[in-house]
Amino acid sequence: MGRVWKLGDNINTDVIIAGRYNVTTDRAQLAKYCLCEVYPEFAQNVQPGDIMVGGHNFGCGSSREHAPTAILANGIKVIIARSFARIFYRNSVNIGLPVLVCEEAALSSEDGQELDVDLTTGEIRNLTTGQTFQSEPLDPFIARIVQAGGIINYIEEQGTLR
């Protein structure tokens, strides 16, 4: 169970973490500056297990992995959106940050509500309103990477990329 942090459409990578903060690989620093220019309360108040909810084209823009890394470093359990930009989606899968596409859950969830997400089944329950939603199923190969906790874990399990 986690609190919803609600964002809109086309949340780009410069908004998630501006380029000038990408001179570090330190996760605590990236976490601190996540969304700092548009949503300064986020980094200060987010709790591990919270859930980020976005609209269309979430994570558009740069391929810089600092963006999903900054979100994961804040303890976000899953991002639910109406659609994801493809490099961001791929980066999130690869670093083990679950990403789910669910139009109705993304539209109806509001900032501050509580959601419960089952990552295995993709079922999303809004504990504040009582509604239940089913997200789109992941491609089987992608599901294996997410389940392993990211591509590095997957490769360590498999011995190579296959």
Partner 1 sequence: MGTLAEEIFSYKLGRPVHAGETVVVDVDHVMSHDTTTPLAIQAFRKLNKQNKGRVFDAQRSHIVFDHIIPASTIAAATLQRDTRVFAKEQDMTVLQEGICHQVMPEKGFVIPGSIIVGADSHSCTYGAFGAFGTGMGSTDIGVAYTTGRSWFRVPETINVNIIGTMPYGVYAKDISLEVVRRLGVDGANYRAIEYTGEVIENFTMSERMTFANMAIEMGGKAGLIAADETTRAWLQGRTDKEYPMLRAQDPHYERVIEIDVTAMRPQVACPPDVNIVHPAEELGHIKLDEVFLGTCTNGRLDDLEIAVGILRGKKISPDLRLVVIPASREIYMEAMRLGYLEALAEAGANIGTPGCGPCIGRHFGVLAPGERALTTMNRNFTGRMGDPTAEIYLGSPATVAASALTGYITDPRAVLREAEVVG
Least CB distance from residue 4 to partner 1, whole Å? 23
91 vs 126, beta carbon nearer partner 1: 91
In the complex, minimum distance from the CB of residue 126 to partner 1, in angstroms, rounded to a whole number: 26
**What single-letter amino acid sits at 58?**
F
How many Å apart are CA 136 and CA 81, to the nearest integer?
11
Cα 112 to Cα 3: distance, rounded to the nearest angstrom = 6
For the chain, the first-to-last Cα distance in angstroms comes to: 34
Q: And the tokens for 51?
A: 């859930």
Element (H, E) at 30: helix 27-32
Compare residues 43 and 114 and give the one whose CB is closer to partner 1. Answer: 43
Q: Does 14 bind partner 1 (CB under 8 A)?
A: yes
* Cβ pair 91, 67 in contact under 8 A: yes
Binding to partner 1, residues 121-150 (CB under 8 A): 139-142, 150
User: Quick one: 41 or 156, whose CB is closer to partner 1?
Assistant: 156
Residues 48-87 that bind partner 1 (CB under 8 A): 56-57, 60-66, 68-69, 83, 85-87
Q: Is the dihedral of CA 53, 110, 112, 123 positive or negative?
A: negative
Cβ atoms of residues 58 and 31 within 8 Å: no
| Residue 151 engages partner 1 in binding (rule: CB under 8 A) | yes
User: Measured from the CB atom, is 105 or 138 closer to partner 1?
Assistant: 138
Give me the residues that bind partner 1 (CB under 8 A), please: 10, 12, 14-15, 18-20, 22-25, 37, 56-57, 60-66, 68-69, 83, 85-87, 90-91, 94-95, 139-142, 150-152, 155-156, 159-162
